[in-house]
Structure 1
């Protein structure tokens, strides 16, 4: 049983509300010798990665945010970083950005949060390139691969000061190689190189093609390395979680979607989709039935892989846009968290601030508004 105590009152933007802090978590076996123990976390997106200029970096994530995150029951944060945000085109470190990163890690230490530093986007690799008319040179360009290894060597030089029980490295976000063997080869090279610098640091490794659970059978993990966590992502069913998102192929569909149950009803499919030949192609699976059982079944390949290797399984990204019925959205989160808990899968929701965020955000005024207490309760148990 999880026991929580009331720890403090917060006043943010003139709003006073009650925060909680976890007295204890359900104790699962720590699967790595370095003691990097994580259970529930949140992504600090759109700060040092995919920065859309919503707010100055100096104010978008502050010590106050980290104190708040710890107070509501999260035990870690995932920090996406982009090559272009931390290094200029000559490979020189951008001191200001590195200062933001190390300040955040210092705050994590102060508030007893763990942190995952996630190399999210490279100049040679972007997880959504194929959907935006681009391409990735990482898999065919030896120089790009060497740069990838060098970036991690450079990061290690700045971050190895932090305890291995507090900070972990996620080697790359959502690799998308035509051949999974290309990613497996790069994993071996990167881990071998980094282990000479940090023999006890915990690395997070995901499967090829967006870290989807279904691609885990093809993932090859370095042998005899216990300081590895397997990382998957899930946004299924995408037709529900990304309803009307501007960056998806089915964005033109404006009809209703549902969870649990058949995501797009037969009548809505025929009313909205059959009129559009493009939608017919991209929404061929939109009438599938999704529920808690289906969510669990989707994750089985990743669960099986983790059990075979005796490694911890982690879901580093999941979320649902607030463009759907609120009760159904909360039901989706509730079912997914239940699946994670039943299979002892640590997790990190996407995201803290942003479209998917636990904070509502005014994109016109570039300010945070208020936390979604119902969603926070589902995600943290408070």
Structure 2
């Protein structure tokens, strides 16, 4: 009789995951599953979607999450002419864990069906009004561009992290494979970069080596396509989302850029960027030959080249923190949106409601209108509708 091989730690985790997720990974049963179209959305020519990020699941701990987005917001979106909802998600939100302690590799697989069902609500509400939903792992096992949570491993270096990353995407693919690709897609990982200390808010934003990013992306793409082969998959730009990645072209996925350049305009006095924002000079736009519309075109040229090569491009995040003077923000952002729109590239404002949005932004230099109890920045809304 052959002596059984001892179980490795990785085998234990995988086997534990199968028991913990047997119910969770089953497809969501909707009232009526949408039929699969003959052709999926083309990764080579993404729609010029226009819309917003919704941050319901942005933080790891549900106790610190925002109030859930009311369904009427999606109706307003549709009525205003928008069609795109991006949902940046922190994977620990959906786990059954003690958030007061550092997460363990075993707990990364401990899904909560009750919490996962929260996503069903927002997906169904957005789809009800014909809005396309892009599910994004903002925090994935082993990586997040934000601090505030201790990861048990490193996605770019550790196979255990990559196994968990693919397992999470398997869950979402199984859950939503019955929804038409016209209504849902998968955005692999928010703003990849190398950071020596992923829990240091001011850690490095160096580009992930192309071969490393390709290896991680391919593993997740292969897992998703084994379940939902017709659904669009998108990868964010390298170095924090800003750098086009032609090395991923063979994966036949779209790519997502960012609308945060120049950073001193988009994130002026943002407290998570500047430890001491006092003394920062007020931003201007335009501001000389290195900060004007032509400079924007130069900055985005690699993305335009990528699009010309046959890889669809969308700007998944963009906008401006509330401390930038409103007139400077509108002047700059109008150029950003028009430069992208002229190349058929749509956008997702970082949020509709909040510091980057046009509802309840908290800007001190805006003449707000009342909108069903919200403070509406009509000038920003008009700008967004004009492109």
- CA, structure 1 residues 52+158, in 2 after alignment: closer, same or farther (shift >3 Å)? closer
Name the CA distance, whole Å, in 1 between partners of 2:73 and 2:64: 14
Q: When the two structures are superposed, what TM-score results if normalisation uses the length of structure 1?
A: 0.75
- CA, structure 1 residues 377+362, in 2 after alignment: closer, same or farther (shift >3 Å)? closer
Asked if 1:162 corresponds to 2:179, the answer is: yes
Indicate which of 54, 77, 86 corresponds to 2:85: 77
Aligned to 2:156: 139
- 2:46 touches 2:312 (CA, 8 Å); kept in 1? no
C-alpha root-mean-square deviation of aligned residues, in Å?
Answer: 3.0
- CA, structure 1 residues 134+254, in 2 after alignment: closer, same or farther (shift >3 Å)? farther
Aligned to 2:58: 49
- 1:361 touches 1:368 (CA, 8 Å); kept in 2? no
List aligned pairs for 1:49-128, cutoff 5 A.
49-50=58-59, 59-89=67-97, 90=107, 91-128=109-146
Name the CA distance, whole Å, in 1 between partners of 2:356 and 2:145: 18
Name the CA distance, whole Å, in 2 between partners of 1:341 and 1:66: 23
Work out the number of aligned pairs and report it.
317
Gaps of at least 5 residues in structure 1 are 1-29, 264-287
Aligned to 2:262: 237
Q: When the two structures are superposed, what TM-score results if normalisation uses the length of structure 2?
A: 0.74
Higher strand fraction: Structure 1 or Structure 2? 1
1:253-283 residue CA offsets vs partner (Å, 9 max, x unmatched): 43432331338xxxxxxxxxxxxxxxxxxxx
- 1:43 touches 1:80 (CA, 8 Å); kept in 2? yes
List aligned pairs for 1:264-275, cutoff 5 A.
none
Name the CA distance, whole Å, in 2 between partners of 1:160 and 1:64: 26
The alpha-carbon deviation at position 132 of structure 1 amounts to 10
- CA, structure 1 residues 79+134, in 2 after alignment: closer, same or farther (shift >3 Å)? closer
- 1:126 touches 1:136 (CA, 8 Å); kept in 2? no
| SS across alignment from 1:230 | strand
Aligned to 2:214: 184
Asked if 1:346 corresponds to 2:346, the answer is: yes
List aligned pairs for 1:28-39, cutoff 5 A.
32=42, 37-39=47-49
- CA, structure 1 residues 146+55, in 2 after alignment: closer, same or farther (shift >3 Å)? closer
Gaps of at least 5 residues in structure 2 are 1-39, 98-106, 195-207, 364-371
1:307-351 residue CA offsets vs partner (Å, 9 max, x unmatched): 11x122101011111212211111111111111111111111111
